[in-house]
Amino acid sequence: MARPELFKFENYAASAHSEPNRYVGVRFSEEGVFLPEAGNTVVRHVVPGSGTETALIELRERLRALPWGHRFAFTDVPSLHMTVFEGVIETRRLREYWPKELSVDAPLEEATDYLAARLDDFEGPGPFDMRIAEVTPFGLSLTGATDADEKTARAWRDSLTEPFT
């Protein structure tokens, strides 16, 4: 069985993108170092010492070894995670991304308190596993390891919409 192509080079070639990367200065520096980004996001951390962590470390080393591997920015290993649901982010204060009962000018601490209270009794829809669907310069695109896992991951995102709005 043929392996799926996880990195589509032509999608990210410099010749296809004349504009500077929109994340430079926001998510990472010109040197490829991730910048702090204050906010409240639901993440699923990679378990230290797990097979997943080992595979991700191997993948990042293989990407770094490419002739243009220096153009990637990599998350520090202890910070490896999957974003399950992107909540309020300091650098993205737009009405459609901010709790409707708070001003988009509200301090982040106020948004944190508001969301924490709304998540007090929250219970997610259950465990799920993911697999890599695509490697991009911005990270890994993931999909459920099985159809059931994909449904559960989407159920998490759907269920988190209520407390974050």
164 vs 68: which has the higher pLDDT: 164
Instruction: Give the mean model confidence (pLDDT) for residues 126-138.
Output: 88
Nearest in space to 156 (alpha carbons), one of 8, 17, 27, 43? 43
pLDDT recorded at residue 1: 43
13 vs 18: which has the higher pLDDT: 18
Instruction: Give the mean model confidence (pLDDT) for residues 46-56.
Output: 95
Task: Read off the pLDDT band of 97 (50, 70, 90).
Answer: confident
Strand bridging mode 130-136 / 81-85: unpaired
User: pTM for this structure?
Assistant: 0.78
Task: Read off the pLDDT band of 74 (50, 70, 90).
Answer: confident
Task: Read off the pLDDT band of 10 (50, 70, 90).
Answer: low
Q: How far apart are CA 163 and CA 87, in angstroms?
A: 10
